[in-house]
């Protein structure tokens, strides 16, 4: 059996070749979006998805939770 050492740079090169063959471009750096921004974007997109896919029962449940949170918030205003 033939053994060949494979390093991370080899995997990166192979992945870039696969993406290039599909016409996609590979990112060349880490980008400029922070982790927090990515999480916020993902949550916003998930909420959009949820609105489209919730059953009426789930919608009613979520509305009840929002109403309870509002009532609790009015009873206990935040202190500075």
Q: What's residue 79's pLDDT?
A: 63
How far is 59 from 53, CA to CA, in rounded Å? 10
* Six-digit token string for 62: 């979520």
Q: pTM to 2 decimals?
A: 0.40
- Average pLDDT on 29-53 reads 91
As a whole number, the mean pLDDT across the chain is 86
Residues 21-39: tens digit of each pLDDT: 988 777 778 788 899 999 9
- Percent of the chain at pLDDT exceeding 70: 94
């Amino acid at each position: 059996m033939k053994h060949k050492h494979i390093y991370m740079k080899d995997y990166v090169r192979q992945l870039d070749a696969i993406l290039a063959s599909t016409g996609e471009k590979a990112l060349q750096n880490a980008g400029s979006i922070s982790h927090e921004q990515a999480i916020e974007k993902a949550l916003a997109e998930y909420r959009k998805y949820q609105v489209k896919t919730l059953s009426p029962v789930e919608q009613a449940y979520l509305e009840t939770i929002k109403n309870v949170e509002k009532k609790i918030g009015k009873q206990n205003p935040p202190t500075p």
